[in-house]
Amino acid sequence: MRTIKHSGVHELQIRRSRFICALARVVTEEEAQAFIAERRRAHRDATHNCTAYVLGEHAEITRNSDDGEPAGTAGLPMLEVLGRRDLTGVVAVVTRYFGGIKLGAGGLVRAYGQAVAEAIDAVGVVERRPVVTVTVAVGHERAGRLQRDLHASPYPPSGARYGPSAEIDVPVPEAELAAFEAWVAAATGGQAAVRRGARTLIDVDV
């Protein structure tokens, strides 16, 4: 599952028309619509505020709007860029201020698609990978070495707590849980207790 690294705004000018693309990470249609409404309020004097968004773990929800541009020349090319980049959880709003020179249908398709593509390049893309937070409990005498070993391994810890024992939290890819538990047993001589926790998603640069 791929999405943008963070929200952002990118502007380009094509034949005197300004195209301002704003991107945001969203989870629900309500969040997407709220972002669209916010951009339309901010640019209520613009010629058009065209939109596209993709939602769902498998990109099962897609919507787009030409907002008065000729049908199929704005929202659809924006949506197609999101699809070609294999992104989900993203809403795009391209605000156009008309510069007095008509671009034609083909020019509009290219301009709206380019605005989204350049904005994505500007903010970056991450892959959201499912992980399970595994808590490893060891005696205090082993904790320091185990933390060093974890930092040097493919499983860097995300946090630690110290009580009667040291508890170290490690995000582990779901497919590697058994391998990680075997690694912990080998690294600690079988002296660690391992507890699987919640499933979450983490961002990994691509």
Cα separation, 164 vs 137, in Å, equals 10
Instruction: Using only the alpha carbons of the chain, give its radius of gyration.
Output: 23
Indicate whether 35 and 108 sit together in one domain: yes
Residue 205: predicted pLDDT: 80
Indicate whether 80 and 114 sit together in one domain: yes
Residue 151: predicted pLDDT: 93
Last residue of a domain, one of 123, 146, 164: 123
Indicate whether 29 and 119 sit together in one domain: yes
Residue 57 reports pLDDT greater than 90? no
Centre a 10 Å sphere on the Cβ of residue 2 and count the other Cβ atoms it contains: 17
- Can you give the CATH number for the domain in which 86 is found? 3.30.230.30
Indicate whether 179 and 86 sit together in one domain: no
Tens of pLDDT, residues 99-150: 999 999 999 999 999 999 999 999 999 998 889 999 999 999 999 999 999 9
Q: Mean pLDDT in the chain?
A: 94
Indicate whether 139 and 195 sit together in one domain: yes
Indicate whether 167 and 67 sit together in one domain: no
Cα separation, 120 vs 104, in Å, equals 24
Query: How many independent structural domains does the chain possess?
Result: 2
Last residue of a domain, one of 88, 108, 123: 123
- Can you give the CATH number for the domain in which 133 is found? 3.30.70.240
Q: Domain range spanning residue 173?
A: 128-205
Last residue of a domain, one of 56, 91, 123: 123
Indicate whether 109 and 193 sit together in one domain: no
Indicate whether 92 and 188 sit together in one domain: no
Tens of pLDDT, residues 70-89: 999 999 999 999 999 999 99
Indicate whether 118 and 49 sit together in one domain: yes
Residue 200: predicted pLDDT: 85
Residues contacting residue 120 through CB under 8 Å, at least 6 positions apart:
4, 23, 81, 85, 87
Torsion of CA 147, 148, 152, 153, to 10 degrees: -30
Residue 96 reports pLDDT greater than 90? yes
Indicate whether 92 and 167 sit together in one domain: no
Indicate whether 10 and 104 sit together in one domain: yes
Single-letter residue type at 11: E
Indicate whether 12 and 102 sit together in one domain: yes
Q: Which helix (H) or strand (E) holds 138?
A: strand 125-138
Residue 167: predicted pLDDT: 95
Residue 3 reports pLDDT greater than 90? yes
Residue 115: predicted pLDDT: 98
Helix/strand/coil for 174: helix
